[in-house]
Amino acid sequence: MKLIIFDCDGVLVNSEEIYQAAELEYLTAAGITFEPGAYTQAFMGLSPAMWQAKLEAIGQERAKPLSPRFFEQLADYTNERLRKDLAALPDARNVISRLPAPKCVASSTPLARLRWKLEHTGLVDLFDPHIFSSDMVVNGKPEPDLFLHAAGAMGVHARDCIVIEDSVNGVLAGKAAGMRVIGFTAGNHCAGTHGDGLLRHGADALVGAYEDLEVTLASL
């Protein structure tokens, strides 16, 4: 292992649960509902553009079209929640600071927003300047482009990288890149059988808390 690639939302910070709560609240009000866990599996890890396009398509399929105003209002509400509630996951800083291998962040979040999240939660110094966003590649997750870009920028071959991901789309991207992937389920949004889904889609191991990460990394 020569490089550890961390996703951000739901792995480093608790933004994924904030996003999902806000999004499901607004979608339910618009008449679009999902079975428990289905929204997480389908949408988590997508770039904002892919997420919006997929939701717009579902709205059309269900005869519940979503207007541009819907997404503007949802963004305002989500930003308010993030400013109030965003935090690093428990023990993230302590554990990551002890890891001897080089590390970086590779996230579907736009770069300016990604840096804000890391700065707001006091994690940016653990990775700076090795912070990579889907802004930097043509295809976001579940395509491998972002992880391959990060590895290339760090001068490491894909086979020597381990990706830490909480989403099916992220796991698919990591495996498509030829990397080993740890499915990370420490976030509150990863309840129930979420970890089983990560394993089904190719995760090499599961970690449910930062305190277990070092042992799992050493075993891969």
Domain ranges in the chain?
3-14+87-219, 16-85
Nearest to 106 by CA among 42, 167, 27, 30: 167
Query: What residue ranges in the chain does DSSP mark as E strands?
Result: 3-6, 103-107, 131-133, 161-165, 180-184, 205-207
Q: Is the pLDDT of residue 45 over 80?
A: no
Mean confidence (pLDDT) of the chain: 93
Per-residue model confidence (pLDDT) at position 16: 87
Per-residue model confidence (pLDDT) at position 190: 86
Tell me the fold of 3-14+87-219: Rossmann fold (3.40.50)
Rounded mean pLDDT, 27-38: 85
Q: Is the pLDDT of residue 36 over 70?
A: no
Nearest to 146 by CA among 108, 185, 100: 108
The pTM (predicted TM-score) of the whole model is 0.88
Rounded mean pLDDT, 58-86: 92
Rounded mean pLDDT, 15-32: 90
Task: Label residue 47 by pLDDT band (50, 70, 90).
Answer: confident
Residue in this structure with the two tokens 């302590």, named with its chain if needed = 94
> What is the percent of the chain where pLDDT is above 70?
100
CATH class as words, domain 16-85: mainly alpha
List Cα–Cα distances, 10 to 56, 88, 156, 165, 185, in angstroms: 24, 9, 25, 8, 8
Per-residue model confidence (pLDDT) at position 87: 97
Task: Label residue 38 by pLDDT band (50, 70, 90).
Answer: confident
Rounded mean pLDDT, 121-149: 97
